[in-house]
Structure 1
């Protein structure tokens, strides 16, 4: 046993919210941790996010530019040359791409692009391919399958 693995006995600590404003003997009575006066001491005295006390808030002072399409998809692009790391005659899926470290997060899909060369016969199963990628995979004797 050492200091790094000490913890309270079971049942000695509970996660209930601390009840404020229950008398000065509790150490958190009277103003209940809200301080003396001002808007934040009053009941219902909150300000919304971004409120700057009546000053023109930052989000209205800054110029607005551009447009963000809410329907766009985030596709992960991988070049054919990066498929060289797989064994010949193997099946390359999104799961094997994640295991190999080529892809961390698939987001809305994976697309194979045709940059580079491929010398191995592979069966590649991903969401999309470019035409040049399909041509290079099939020229190496493999198959490009859209899932």
Structure 2
């Protein structure tokens, strides 16, 4: 096979519809746009959400709530999940490989949910005050 012998597969290419090219084409004169009105004119159409002058839906409804885009970079890990992980030293990379936090997470915090019986050393991971006391009571540390 050579470049000059290549052709598109059968039926993948077809001629563009040429509107407004005479009565015999079936789409002549008004070219399928009907008669008069904003939609029939060149460049005449409304913007997205326009409701003919009526107050549009996105302006009628109240604006409520906010979700920061920074939340996706922060993650939480429970004491129970640290217990199940079973590692002596835990850092961000270990949590990512175990699948406990997402790959785009940058900040991780351990929260006080569940129990911890093994000694765990945290490197570069934060912990709430109550989680920190439980980790230290089990013989671990938060660095």
Distance verdict in 2 for CA 1:47–1:101, change over 3 Å? same
Shift of 1:112: 0.9
1:30, distance to aligned residue in structure 2 (A): 5.5
Name the counterpart of 1:114.
112
CA separation of 1:88 and 1:40: change in aligned 2, threshold 3 A: same
Residue 135 of structure 2 corresponds to: 137
Tell me which moved more, 136-145 or 54-63: 136-145
Consecutive unaligned residues in structure 2, runs of 5 or more: 1-5
When normalised by structure 2's length, the TM-score is 0.63
Name the structure with the higher helix share: 2
Which secondary structure state, in structure 2, belongs to the residue aligned with residue 56 of structure 1? coil
C-alpha separation between the residues in 1 aligned to 2:125 and 2:97?
A: 17
Deviation at 1:51, TM superposition (A): 0.5
Can you list the C-alpha shifts for 1:46-85, whole angstroms capped at 9, x where unaligned?
A: 211211112221122223456x486x84232222222111
Over the residues paired in the alignment, what is the CA RMSD in angstroms?
A: 3.7
Task: Describe the shift of the 1:62–1:21 C-alpha distance in structure 2 as closer, same or farther (beyond 3 A).
Answer: same
Of residues 107, 122, 125 in structure 1, which corresponds to 2:123? Answer: 125
TM-score by length of 1: 0.62
**Cα distance change, pair 88–102 in 1 and its aligned pair in 2 (3 A):** closer
C-alpha distance 53-127 of structure 1, shift in aligned 2 (>3 A): farther
Structure 1: unaligned runs, 5 residues or longer: 1-8
